[in-house]
Structure 1
Amino acid sequence: MKKILAIIIILTAFAGIGWFYQKHHPEKEKVLVLYGNVDIREVNLGFRVGGRLSKLIYDEGDRIKPGEVIAQLDDEPYRNQVANVSAQVNSLKERLKLKEAGNRPQEIARAKSLVREQDIATANAKQVFLRAERALLIKGISTQERDNAEMIYQESEARLAAAKQSLDLLQAGFRVEDIAQAKADLTQAEAALASAELQVKDTVLTAPAEGIILTRTQEVGAILPTGATVFTVSLQRPVWIRAYVHEPDLGHIHPGTQVDVYTDSQPDKPYKGHIGFISPRTEFTPKSVETTELRTSLVYRLRIVVDNPDEGLRQGMPVTIKLMVDQAAVAHPVPPL
């Protein structure tokens, strides 16, 4: 009996010590529970140019990887346009070279010869005119003959001046403004060529990211306008979860906080993740929540990035998020949208 009494006393003492410790040393952390949904991330894919659809490489349900070709347009019209613009660029390049190089040496030499020839002719016409002046003084010729000699001399001088101006123009080459205009024309044509080459590339549709094709809306041979949707793709990476946190709990979390994500299908296998984004703007609890009390609560939207996603996480799936926070009052969890 004494032994039993001693055991009871010892157990009572341990229980008292435990109660005293718990009272004066409370837990430093508590679990904050949030509810959310895996974000639905889809993208409609189409061509930036129009044309005839010539090839569809994937179908609904197929997985695609970044950069893979998934569809093609008939690119022949666009290649013909590239050839046409390329010929224009080559022509303008040669024209610019011609203007920058100036006139040919043979043309300049010919102009110099014309100047020398006209100079001699002018000198001869001058001598004839001077002799006519002297002959008129002694009444050796008529006034009309003297006037004819003067006219020939003046015409010769005018032709000499014109020949010198032509030589100056040939030696000076093309005007700076003409060269600048030729350069501008070439730049414009090169831009048109780059645009045409880009259009050829745009006849090939590639996957922007890893995903699964949900829908295929076109068939081979269809004439598509610019931007028409060909595939709708569900993006698989990264996996984001949308959740909401009450304003009183906002001080316990921050971007980078580690969390555990639980699904109903695998409650014993949590996913690891972290908070990637906290909305800077408050909002009311989504209207889909039926509780009138919760509807009036102010919450902040969170984006949680799952670090180790697999096929167990499907878009739109409801999940539970748990994270450890400091010993402060933890508000009620916010249901998902």
Structure 2
Amino acid sequence: MASGLAKRRRLVIGGLIVAGVAIASFLFFRVRGAPSNVLTLYGNVDIREVQVAFDASDRIARMFVEEGDFVRPGQLLAELDPRRYTAIANQARADVVQARADIVKAKADIASAMATRINAARISARDARLLKKGTVSEEQAQTDESALRVATANLAAARSGLALAQAALKAKEAALALAEVNLAATKLYAHSYGVIEDRILEPGDMASPTVPAFTMALTNPLWVRAYVPETYMGRIYLGMKASITTDSYPGKIFRGWVGYISPTAEFTPKSVESPELRTRLVYEVRVYACNPRNELRLGMPATVTVALNQPVPAANQIKGLGCGEQEHAGGHP
């Protein structure tokens, strides 16, 4: 009787195990089969870095920013010793003044030569008439005609002189413009919003266009580089809104949008902190973000959430995406 009871108990336990496995399998495949409307991606914050250099060569006189300083477009970062370029610009200005004076003189020469020719033509015509009447000698008439030819040649030379003076003025003005550009290049300005990462040179160092003075991290654009599984490629589009969170700022959500989807598949990089296996094909995406208080830093791990049931953005909506001036790092009052 005891063996029968044990046998029935084993049958009951076996049945429960089979039922449990069946229920678990049903729930598992039901969940896997149901497409999720939320895509969660794991990646790292990425930015662009630029090497900022002078467009001129000389010794650095002053530098106005330090590592970690936020800079805005048009902000003065450093300047070279301007004395050599100032002297060249001053000489070019003097050359332009002289060239303009030469034009004034050339115009005066033309006026004088024209008056002389008019007078010579009048005398030559008068003596030609008198020669027919016999009141003027043929020698005098020939002398008057020769004087007219000389006056005509002098007028042509004066006009050529004016053309040469005008060409010289253009050349001097071009030299002045170049000199002023070179003088302006002794000042180094920020071309965009950014953060100074490194002061490579210091006052007293020789700078040139091939030697960077600063390394600057651009705060716009800033994005999270993540990787989308191939199975989701038909459900994610450019311009889709996204939410970005980090462990550094728990509970804070940074707004973002999908700004780039790679056309090429690759295997997930080993550096990506993903809880899933990294042996499947994925596509790189860049989820751009606004970072008004510089809280997102280069290399920071981030989690991106994209709602897949949102409408596909239109082309004009994609073009309108971006951060306002107050949403740039360092852009807040």
Normalising by structure 2, report the TM-score.
Answer: 0.69
How many residue pairs get aligned? The number is: 276
More off after superposition, 86-95 vs 180-189: 180-189
Pick from 44, 56, 70 the counterpart of residue 77 of structure 2: 70
SS of 1:80's equivalent in the other structure is: helix
Ranges in structure 1 where 5+ consecutive residues have no aligned partner: 1-22, 130-152, 328-337
**Any idea what the Cα deviations from partners look like across 1:102-141, whole Å, max 9, x if unmatched?**
52358725972697499769979x9799xxxxxxxxxxxx
Match of 1:285 in 2: 267
Q: Does 1:53 align with 2:60?
A: yes
Match of 1:108 in 2: 115
SS of 1:240's equivalent in the other structure is: strand
Cα offset, 1:157, TM superposition: 4.7
Pick from 99, 103, 125 the counterpart of residue 96 of structure 1: 103
Match of 2:17 in 1: none
Structure 1 counterpart of 2:95, which letter?
Answer: Q
Ranges in structure 2 where 5+ consecutive residues have no aligned partner: 1-29, 311-333
Q: Does 1:243 align with 2:250?
A: no
Equivalence map 1:1-337=2 (5 Å): 30-100=37-107, 103-105=110-112, 108-109=115-116, 112=119, 116=123, 156-169=140-153, 174-175=158-159, 179-279=162-262, 281-288=263-270, 294-295=278-279, 297=281, 299-307=282-290, 309-326=292-309
Cα offset, 1:236, TM superposition: 2.5
Cα offset, 1:306, TM superposition: 1.3
Instruction: Give identity over the alignment, percent.
Output: 32
Cα offset, 1:219, TM superposition: 2.2
2: CA distance, partners of 1:245 / 1:45: 34
Structure 2 counterpart of 1:73, which letter?
Answer: L
Larger radius of gyration: 1
Structure 1 counterpart of 2:143, which letter?
Answer: R
Normalising by structure 1, report the TM-score.
Answer: 0.68
Cα offset, 1:254, TM superposition: 1.7
Structure 2 counterpart of 1:63, which letter?
Answer: F
SS of 1:104's equivalent in the other structure is: helix
* RMSD value, Cα: 3.8
* Structure possessing the higher relative contact order (Cα contacts under 8 Å, 6 or more residues apart): 1
